[in-house]
Structure 1
Amino acid sequence: MESRFKEWVYIEGLMQSAYHESALKMNLSDSEFWILYVFNFHQEGCNQSVLYKEACLTKSTVNSAIRKMEQKDLLYLTPGEGRNTMVFLTEKGRKLMEDTVYKVIQIENTIYDTWTPEEQKLFMKLNCDFAEKLRDKINEL
């Protein structure tokens, strides 16, 4: 079957490869990188479920990464409401986030800022629209 998204799949692969390469250069696993990336948006800690949802990782991958990061003194856990577990960066974890993920976010921002406001809006609109429609159609399978 012909895929009209062959080029997009390739582009998506290039982006994922770039993020993977950045994690390797920073001595992080991919899951550690994405967990730290999500913490950029949740500076005061977050529910463990937020990490797997926003990092787009499986629960087991996040759980495994959290255990390893906890052993490295990068984060700590506290009980939340009900069965929820809250996750917080330690000072060491916060420093690691600043020394690694912040560099990648700066690169993203620099690229994004080269676009006009209209291009930025269109980029977000089209990607969001596609992601939402794809999710909805996949849920119908």
Structure 2
Amino acid sequence: MHYLEAEQYTHLAGEINSLYHEAAVKMGISDSVQNILYIISEKEGQCLQSEISKMTGISRQTINSAIRKLEKEGIVYLKQGNGRNTIVCLSEKGEKFASEKIYPLYEIENKIWNEWTPNERQQYLILTKKYRDGLKKYLKDIL
């Protein structure tokens, strides 16, 4: 990638992350709570705790801390999965909370997605996966 293009990508990715952060602040929640509830909502109200960490890139310690806080607030509850797996579930209060704090993000993302042509959506997914795969491949060399 040409240096200028790589720099543009870095700035765009940072700006997008900043916009999601701004949305979390406006909703009165932390970035980690936003990400956790987003994943659980996407998974129809319940998700393995380990999967949340994998899908968000947030450390297990931060995930655990945020989930404990959400559990104390009655937004999520935990249930035992297979083996040592813990399932994080939205409570009734959590469903209402997610509908106010997370679903507006879904609506915005769907508006954007629907403004794109099917070809643009497909191209975006192909290139994003290609970038992710390349990053995995080349990070192995330095990690």
TM-score by length of structure 2 reads: 0.92
Amino acid at match of 2:119: E
User: SS at 1:87's partner residue?
Assistant: strand
Amino acid at match of 1:67: R
Partner of 2:56: 55
Shift of 1:44: 4.3
Shift of 1:40: 2.1
Instruction: Please say if 1:40 is aligned against 2:41.
Output: yes
Deviation digits for residues 89-120 of structure 1, max 9, x if unmatched?
A: 10111111111111011111111111111111
- Alignment coverage as a number of residue pairs: 140
CA distance in 2, matches of 1:92, 1:132: 38
CA distance in 2, matches of 1:140, 1:40: 35
Partner of 1:21: 22
CA distance in 1, matches of 2:134, 2:104: 32
Deviation digits for residues 6-37 of structure 1, max 9, x if unmatched?
A: 10010001100000000001011000000011
CA distance in 2, matches of 1:40, 1:78: 16
User: SS at 2:140's partner residue?
Assistant: helix
TM-score by length of structure 1 reads: 0.94
CA distance in 2, matches of 1:6, 1:32: 29
Shift of 1:47: 1.1
Q: Percent identity?
A: 36
Partner of 1:140: 141
Q: What are the ranges of 5 or more consecutive residues in structure 1 without an aligned counterpart?
A: none
Partner of 1:83: 84
CA distance in 1, matches of 2:34, 2:59: 14
Q: What are the ranges of 5 or more consecutive residues in structure 2 without an aligned counterpart?
A: none
Q: How big is the alpha-carbon RMSD for the aligned residues of Structure 1 and Structure 2?
A: 1.3
CA distance in 1, matches of 2:121, 2:47: 28
CA distance in 1, matches of 2:41, 2:78: 17
CA distance in 2, matches of 1:61, 1:44: 20
The structure 1 segments of at least 4 consecutive aligned residues displaced by more than 3 Å after TM superposition are none
